[in-house]
Amino acid sequence: MAVVHFYEKPGCAGNKRQRELLLEAGHILFVHDLLRQPWAETPDKLRSFFGDLPVADWFNRSAPAIKNGEVLPEALDEAQAIALMIADPLLIRRPLLEADGRRRAGFDTETVEAWLEADMDGQDLESCPKRAASSACGS
């Protein structure tokens, strides 16, 4: 069991499924609104969630600014990426997870299973379940 700080977009169905699985695995969750965090005051903290991931992998590919071509993650350096994410937190790949002194972005099933000892049964828990639906949540 771990104490997990879980930074999500409120109302996100994918984040809800992820939270439920972590709770079922016996973890204690402190849930934070990703969109309301004072990232401008703590840009280094935001940066720390991405570790050694390539900059392009820091982004929520369902964010409106990416889908409409306004933001091209592959063309950005670290400083540009963090500045854009501070200005528009919908760009941040979610959830952001913090437990046992480690931070990660996204919910890669294999990584989360190994790190937090939670059985995900090989499910894709990072893709948006509403992506194809007309009732998409605005990412």
DSSP letter assigned to residue 38: -
Is 128 a known active-site residue?
Answer: no
**Burial (CB count within 10 angstroms: exposed 0-12, middle 13-18, buried 19+), residue 114:** exposed
d(CA 12, CA 40): 23
Q: Which whole-number Å values give the CA distances from 21 to 18, 40, 79, 99, 120, in the listed order?
A: 5, 31, 33, 15, 7
Angle at 104 between CA 100 and CA 106, to 5 degrees: 135
d(CA 17, CA 125): 7
30, 3 in Cβ contact below 8 A?
Answer: yes
4, 8, 9, 12: the active-site residue = 12
Residues assigned a catalytic role: 12
